[in-house]
Amino acid sequence: MVEQKVVISKDLKADLQAFLAALNYDKLFILTDTNTQEKCYPLIQDVPAIKEAPVITVDAGDTHKGLEALSNIWMRLSNEGASRNSLLVNLGGGMVTDMGGFAGATFKRGLKTVNIPTTLMASVDAAVGGKTGINFNGLKNEIGSFYPPECVFIDCEFLRTLDRDNLLSGYAEMIKHALISSMDTYATVMLFDLDQKMDYAFLNKMVAQSVAVKERIVAEDPKEHGVRKALNFGHTIGHAYESLSFKKNLPLLHGHAVAAGIVSELYLSHKLCGFPSSNLSQVIQYIKEYYPAFVFDCKEYETLYELMTHDKKNEGGIINFTLLSKIGEVQINQAVTKDKILESLDFYRESFGI
């Protein structure tokens, strides 16, 4: 798999123009959602290479990351003469970079893509690493492919357009990266005050640090045969929480679901791998301080368990977890019994007083 280039930009227009001038392509397209078309596209629209580019806009929100929107992207590309040598610039959050990446991977068996993430979630996770996909049959990212973009441009100026919930959503992935990497990164992330006036310059440095964690792991294992599974920490249960929230018509932002998943999977890490109780308490306290509780009851446990059985990491019908023995020490391919999984759901509800 081709290694992607990641640019932590301080002058996005200049960096983007220089990159596009050096790239060989015949036609350029911009993909946005209804939010980024209004708030983010104006920040790049006067880049010379982008001025005349057709803009494809999809409805915002992860509930729209499906076949209908994907089909509309394919249709526009087809009707407006895109070729295998065309370029699709995905300007948006994780929904846009996931779906735009998959559209790029599949249209004429693959055209060039560039990701410009506009949310913290996309900057530290979705836009980096080459995973693309859409939701299908009520399941998160059920259909997708590995298809790295030509380049990812990360500029924290876009984060000024985010509301607090979306900022917190991305920060959950930074918490995950910290937990799987090192004590130093963990300390930096845990000490960052999300309540005070946001220090975007410092946040930009933290984003670069978080992206570097993911880049290092992806470079070692691009198609998730081994160590890349570390990046799934918090996601086996987190994705189940997210899918259940869709079924309840009370959709959680992805990172809020991951934060809830981290609580449950740290419990499993403590019980099965000896993760220290002191760190368990620290992380739970931090998540409780900033993230709202996901409310569910014991009648929904079977639904949650069933959703976990569809997780892409599973092998031979066994639900596979990534757990931690301590901060920075990851244990992949951990088979966990149903009883212990249900205990971890109890633990989440007890931690949040549900």
* CA 88 centroid distance within chain: 20
Q: Are residues 187 and 301 in the same domain?
A: yes
Question: Does some domain include residue 139?
Answer: yes
Please give the residue range of the domain that contains residue 332. Answer: 164-196+230-351
Q: Are residues 111 and 186 in the same domain?
A: no
Total domains in the chain come to 2
- Asked if the model's pLDDT at residue 214 lies above 60, the reply is yes
Question: Does some domain include residue 224?
Answer: no
Question: Does some domain include residue 206?
Answer: no
pLDDT digits (tens, 9 = 90+) for 310-351: 877 777 778 889 999 999 999 999 999 999 999 999 999 999
Q: Are residues 249 and 306 in the same domain?
A: yes
Spatial distance between the Cα atoms of 84 and 227, rounded to a whole number of angstroms: 32
Question: Does some domain include residue 11?
Answer: yes
Confidence of residue 204 (pLDDT cuts 50, 70, 90): confident
Which residues lie closer than 8 Å to 292 by C-beta, 6 or more apart? 256
Q: Are residues 143 and 265 in the same domain?
A: no
Domain boundary among 140, 161, 182: 161
pLDDT digits (tens, 9 = 90+) for 29-38: 999 999 999 9
Confidence of residue 4 (pLDDT cuts 50, 70, 90): low
Q: So what's the pLDDT on residue 3? A: 59
Confidence of residue 1 (pLDDT cuts 50, 70, 90): very low
Q: Are residues 185 and 311 in the same domain?
A: yes
Apex CA 173: angle with CA 107 and CA 161, to 5°? 75
Q: So what's the pLDDT on residue 139? A: 82
Question: Does some domain include residue 203?
Answer: no
Q: What is the CATH number of the domain that holds 63?
A: 3.40.50.1970
Partners of residue 323 on adjacent β-strands: 331
Q: What is the CATH number of the domain that holds 267?
A: 1.20.1090.10
Q: Are residues 14 and 64 in the same domain?
A: yes
Q: Are residues 123 and 258 in the same domain?
A: no
Give the residue, 55 or 125, on which the prediction is more confident: 55
Q: What's the pTM value of the predicted model, to 2 decimals?
A: 0.84
- Asked if the model's pLDDT at residue 90 lies above 70, the reply is yes
- Asked if the model's pLDDT at residue 273 lies above 90, the reply is yes
Question: Does some domain include residue 150?
Answer: yes
Q: So what's the pLDDT on residue 288? A: 96
Q: Which of 63-67, 133-137, 223-227, 269-273 has the lowest mean pLDDT?
A: 223-227
Domain boundary among 137, 161, 185: 161
Question: Does some domain include residue 120?
Answer: yes
Q: Are residues 113 and 191 in the same domain?
A: no
Q: Which amino acid, one-letter code, is at 284?
A: I
Question: Does some domain include residue 23?
Answer: yes
Selection from 217, 57, 205, 191 nearest residue 125 by Cα = 217
Q: Are residues 156 and 172 in the same domain?
A: no
pLDDT digits (tens, 9 = 90+) for 140-197: 888 999 999 999 999 888 888 888 998 999 999 999 999 999 999 999 999 988 876 7
Cβ proximity of 237 and 296 under 8 Å: no
Q: So what's the pLDDT on residue 283? A: 97
Apex CA 322: angle with CA 320 and CA 328, to 5°? 165
